[in-house]
Chain A
Amino acid sequence: MTLPLTPSQTVGPYFAIGLARRTENQLVPSGSEGAIVLEGHVMDADGAPVPDAMVEIWQADASGAYDGAFGWGRSGTDAEGFYSFSTVKPGSVDGQAPHLSMLVFMRGLLKAVLTRVYFADEEESNAADPVLGGLPEDSRRLLVATGDGGVYRFDVRMQGENETPFFTL
C-alpha cells in the first residue's frame, strides 16, 4: 500500500517571483574551459514563442557521473521564448549516448513535460542509444540538439507537426 502522490498544478504566470531570483543557468561559468552553450526557443501550438516558460535541466558531468552537486540548472524564457544554459557536455551514462534530461514548465501546462536532449555531433553513440532508437526514425531528430563544439540549439515545440517527444516513467 503506497500513499497517493500530491498532484501537480501549473506553475502559473508569476513563478519568476519565487523561481527566478537567482542566476541558475550557469552550471559552469560561460566561456570557461570546456563550457558549451545549450539554447533554444520554446514554442506553443501555433509556433508562437512562449515568453513565460521555465526550463530545467539535469545531467551527468563530463565524465558521465551523476554526483548531485553538479548537473542541475534552470532558465526562464524571454519575450522571444528563448532560454540558455552554460554547461559542459555530459559524458556517456550506462552505455547511453550523452544526453540531458529536461523539464519544461509554463502557465497553461498543468504538469511539467519531460524530454531528453541529445547532441548532433555524437552520431555513433546516438545510433546505439536505446531511448533514441526506441523512437520512430523520423522523430529522433526532434530530440537532437544541432550544432557542434561550442553552441547547441534545441527547440521545444509543445504541439503541432514537429511536437517534441515527451516522456513519462
Chain B
Amino acid sequence: MIDPGTRLPSIADEDRAPSGDPPYLFPDYRSTPSRSPRNPLLILPRTLSETTGPAFGESAVEPDDADLTSQHAGDPLGERIVVSGRVVDDRGHPVRNTLVEIWQANAAGRYAHQVDQHPAPLDPNFTGAGRCLTDEDGHYRFVTIKPGAYPWGNHPNAWRPQHIHFSLFGRAFTERLVTQMYFPGDPLLEFDPIYHSIREEKARHLLISSFDWETTTPDWALGYRFDIVLGGRTATPTEAD
C-alpha cells in the first residue's frame, strides 16, 4: 500500500506491454477518435478491489443458454457448428466456473437488434445469444450456427469478417475480457480495421479459431476450437508474477 499523497505512476496507452490488446486510439476504426481517452493511464496498486471479482453460479445460466439452435420453435437456418475451448490463466491453469457469454449475427449476417437494419433477413428461429459456465477443467461449449459476414459504415464497401462476440469474467474484475472470435481462412480478415487494431500479428492470430475434427460431429455439425487466456491486464511485465 502506498502512502496518500504519493503520485500514482502513469503510462501512455501506446506504451502498454506485454498485452496484445489494441490501443484506444486507432483511427482506421473511425469510432475510436471521439471515444478514446487521451490522458496517460494511472497505474493502480493491486488492492482487494483489483484482485477479486464476481462469482457466478448455476442460477446465472439456463439449460438452453448454451445451444443457440434450440431457443425457438424451429431450427435456425445456416451451418450448424460446435464452438468450444478452454479458458485458462497465463500459467495454463483452468479458470473454473467462470461465466462465458456470446452473441452473434445470424447466418445471413443480420443481428436481432433494432439498430441493425441492413437488408438481410432476420431468422425467427435465431436470437444469437448464449451463456454457459466453464467446467472444472475450464472447458466451455456452445452449439450455434456460423454467423454471416455483414457490411458496416466504417469506410466504402466495408465488411466485417464472420465473428462471434465473447465476454468473460475470470477470477478478478481486472481480468474481465470482451473480445471476438474469428474463423480460419476468412478473406475479410485482411481488410478489417477492428482485427488489425491489434498490432502484433501473433496476437491477432490468437483470435482466430481452428477447425477441430475432435468436436466435429458426424452427419451433424462442424467443430471450431477457441481457447482463451485471461490475466490481469498489466501495464508492464512484472517478474515472476
* A residues whose Cβ falls under 8 Å from a Cβ of B: 2-19, 21, 44-46, 50, 52, 56, 58, 60, 66, 68-69, 71-72, 93-96, 99, 101, 103, 105-114, 116, 127-136, 158-159, 163-169
Distance to closest chain B CB from A44 (angstroms): 5
Contacts A18-B130, A134-B7 given; indicate if A6 touches B229 (C-beta within 8 A).
Answer: yes
State the Cβ distance, A71 to closest chain B Cβ, in Å: 6
Question: Knowing A14-B113, A110-B26, A159-B36 touch, does A4 contact B4 (C-beta < 8 A)?
Answer: no
Which residues of the other chain, A, contact B55 by a CB distance below 8 angstroms?
68-69
CA distance A36 to B44 in the complex (A): 26
By the criterion CB–CB under 8 Å, are A18 and B45 in contact? Answer: no
CB pair A108 B32 closer than 8 Å: yes
On whether the beta carbons of B49 and A93 are closer than 8 Å, the reply is yes
Interface mask (B91-123 → A, CB under 8 Å = 1, otherwise 0): 110000000011101000001110110000000
Nearest CB on B from A70, distance (A): 9
Contacts of B180 in A (CB 8 A): 9-10, 12
- Listed from nearest, the 10 A-B pairs whose CB atoms lie closest are A18-B103, A108-B31, A72-B54, A133-B4, A68-B55, A134-B8, A108-B35, A110-B22, A58-B173, A2-B90
Residues of A within 8 A of B37 (CB): 113, 158-159, 163-164, 166
List 7 additional A-B contacts (Cβ < 8 Å) besides A166-B37, A167-B43. Answer: A2-B91, A14-B116, A44-B35, A45-B35, A46-B34, A69-B54, A99-B49
Q: Could you give, for residues 69-92 of chain B, a 1 whenever the CB lies within 8 Å of some chain A CB and a 0 otherwise?
A: 000000000000000000011111
Let me know if A5 and B113 touch, CB within 8 A: no
CA distance A12 to B53 in the complex (A): 24
Residue from the list B5, B21, B49 in contact with A133, Cβ < 8 A:
B5
Residue of A nearest to B180 (CB): A9
CB <8 Å contact, A6 and B206 = yes
Q: Contacts of A136 on B, CB cut-off 8 Å?
A: 7
Residues of B within 8 A of A112 (CB): 176, 178
Assuming A103-B173, A105-B178, A109-B32, is B39 touching A166 (CB within 8 A)? yes
CB-CB under 8 A from A99, the residues of chain B are 49
Q: Is the CB–CB distance between A58 and B53 below 8 Å?
A: yes
The reply to whether A166 and B42 form a contact with Cβ atoms under 8 Å apart is yes
Q: Which of B7, B37, B115, B228 has most A Cβ within 10 Å?
A: B37
Number of inter-chain CB pairs below 8 Å: 254
Tell me whether A68 and B47 are in contact in the complex, defined as CB-CB below 8 angstroms, given that A130-B2, A163-B38, A168-B233 are known contacts.
Answer: no
- In the bound complex, do residue B6 and residue A101 qualify as a contact, i.e. CB atoms below 8 Å apart? no
Residues of A within 8 Å of B3, CB to CB, are: 130, 133
Residues of chain A within 8 A of B232, CB atoms compared = 169
Q: Return the chain A residue nearest B176 by Cβ.
A: A103
The stretch from B133-141, B197-205, B215-223 touching chain A is: B197-205
Q: Can you list, as one digit per residue, whether each of B229-241 has a CB less than 8 Å from chain A (1) or not (0)? A: 1111111000000
Q: Any chain A CB within 8 A of the CB of B174?
A: yes
Chain B hits for A107, CB < 8 A = 31, 35
Most buried by B among A6, A129, A163: A6
Residues of B within 8 A of A68 (CB): 52-55
Q: Is the CB of B179 within 8 A of A6?
A: yes
In the complex, which of the residues B29, B47, B179, B204 contacts A108, with contact meaning CB atoms closer than 8 Å? Answer: B29
**Measured CA separation A14–B127 after assembly (Å):** 12
| B165 and A15 form a contact (CB under 8 A) | yes
Contact A5 B33 (CB under 8 A): no
